Amino acid sequence: MGKQRGYIAAVFTEQARDRLFAQFAPVFDTVIAHHTTLQNNVDEPDVMPQINEIRVIGVTTDQRGLQALAVEVDNVRYNPFMGGNPYHITWSLSSGGLVPDYMPDAPSEIPSGDLVPVRAKHSGPIIKQSGFVSTEPVVLQAGKDFKVRHIPR
């Protein structure tokens, strides 16, 4: 059996999630708060990328239905594997939220102007477009607070 396509993510422990929930209450009805994506649409690698630290540096709440935490991964804010969008944690989504279809998977896509249901993939572009409110940093450590994993699609 061949390797499965998916994404590589820093997946948070329950203890790390609880620490973050204590500081950032979910605003919308669908809570995600699971991981930070490091690479998307990739085969499972023989060796996982090594990261040491994720630092939560801010939060954004888009009233169209998305709440996300802005993060840095080993002191890097923008993900070179995700079109230069900011690293983030999709925190909560509104089940009825709609956003313009200007936030495509690939930055080169032309927006249609239509409204689409808000999804986790919109977090990075919304932070990039609207910014975030800085907060006291919360530092998460590899091994203790998260583990890097390949998640099949």
pLDDT value for 120: 85
Average pLDDT over residues 34-52: 94
* Position 60 pLDDT exceeds 70: yes
* Position 70 pLDDT exceeds 70: yes
pLDDT value for 117: 80
Instruction: Quote the percentage of the chain above a pLDDT of 70.
Output: 90
Res. 102 pLDDT band, cuts 50 70 90: low
First-last CA distance in the chain: 15
Tokens of 74: 């080993």
Tokens of 35: 């991981």
Total domains in the chain come to 1
pLDDT value for 4: 82
Structural contact between residues 145 and 17, judged by C-beta atoms closer than 8 angstroms: no
Q: Show the domain range for 89.
A: 5-152
Its pTM stands at: 0.88
* Position 110 pLDDT exceeds 50: no
The span from the CA of 69 to the CA of 57, in Å, is: 7
